[in-house]
Structure 1
Amino acid sequence: MTIQNKRIFASILFVLISLVCVAQNNPPPPGPPPPYGLPIDGGVIAGAVVALCYGVKKLVLGKK
């Protein structure tokens, strides 16, 4: 085999291997369920209220 034939053969093999890898499209297994009793949104709302109050205080009293 000449070098040109070896390159063509190697290119064909790489294309076929990549097609086989793409064809194996299995969905990933589902993740574990979230833990119960730990809401995320409650803390965000409380933090926004605290930040708003702090900002109003800084505006009213001036920057110290």
Structure 2
Amino acid sequence: MGKRILILFIIFLLPFIGIAQVVPAPAPPPPPPGLPVDGFMVALFLIAIIYGSVKIFKDSSS
């Protein structure tokens, strides 16, 4: 009796196990358009701000 129950359990459970799969995660959204802001871009921006400030102070002092 125990073997029959086990066999029936396996027969009825096997299709559900075969169908059950992990759904893959959706694709992430694309990055925004434009250039990425990284450390190099920030350094260039700071250099430009400093250069412009020094140039303005030099011109205004003469």
Fold shared by both chains (TM-score > 0.5):
no
TM-score, normalization by structure 2: 0.38
TM-score, normalization by structure 1: 0.37
- Select the structure of larger CA radius of gyration: 2
